[in-house]
Amino acid sequence: MSNPDTPGQEVYELSKIRLLGLQFDIKKEWPNIPECVIIDLAMSLGVRITSDQITTHADQIIRVLENTAGVPKWKRTDTMDIMTLQTLAGYVNSDTEIRWTPGPLLAAMDHLLQYYNHTNMIQINAGFVVGHKTPSIPLAYDACLLYIHCRQHLLHVNRSTSMDAMAAQLRLIHLPDMMLRSGVFQRVQSMSRSDMI
């Protein structure tokens, strides 16, 4: 949780659920949270889950994601020792084979922390890169960030929506209205009467 009373000394809980905003109700949203997002949320806490477990153990997974007891905390003034680097690296991308250096890791953290308990809409640029953050692409948009933007723009997602599908919807936001209308018109023209009805 961030501590606004001490400027520059914010303390961040390293749980990606915090990126979804203070008003996010995981129980209410659960049926429509994409599987890739649930897995990303869990992995940021060091918990590995499977697709089957999302269905069969939903209540347990929700409790794990909501529970902040024992979640590592970080503030920018922390010493960047090996333990801190490993903790931040696990939060940014749970792939333990990736070797981060402080520069790209802090860039990735800064990118994620823009969303920490956010209340305002955050803009996504047209040339965003989709994927897990790595030292070579620390500003990549992972499943959680894509989901945040889909929610902000009221785009339809469900349990089976992939990262690529979320990205495709978000890329359409940057198209001029005429291009969107033209694409819709072409699609309608090729539909059968029964499909249109």
**pLDDT tens digits, 21-64:** 878 899 999 999 999 999 999 998 889 999 999 999 999 999 99
1 half-sphere exposure, CB direction, 13 A CA radius: 8
Residue 1 lies inside a defined structural domain of this protein? no
Residue 133 lies inside a defined structural domain of this protein? yes
Average predicted confidence (pLDDT) for the chain: 87
Residue 6 lies inside a defined structural domain of this protein? no
Domain that residue 104 falls in: 12-196
pTM for the model: 0.84
Residue 116 lies inside a defined structural domain of this protein? yes
79 half-sphere exposure, CB direction, 13 A CA radius: 3
Residue 89 lies inside a defined structural domain of this protein? yes
pLDDT tier at 8, thresholds 50, 70, 90: low
pLDDT tier at 9, thresholds 50, 70, 90: confident
pLDDT at residue 130 above 90? yes
- Number of folded domains that form the chain: 1
**Where is pLDDT greater, at 71 or 22?**
71
pLDDT tier at 70, thresholds 50, 70, 90: confident
Helix runs in 30-162, H state only: 35-44, 51-56, 58-66, 82-92, 102-113, 143-152
**What is the spatial distance between Cα 89 and Cα 69, in angstroms, rounded to a whole number?**
20
Residue 7 lies inside a defined structural domain of this protein? no
pLDDT tier at 1, thresholds 50, 70, 90: very low
Residue 4 lies inside a defined structural domain of this protein? no
Residue 2 lies inside a defined structural domain of this protein? no
Tracing tokens 């802090």 back to the chain, one arrives at 106
Q: Is the dihedral of CA 104, 149, 14, 95 positive or negative?
A: negative
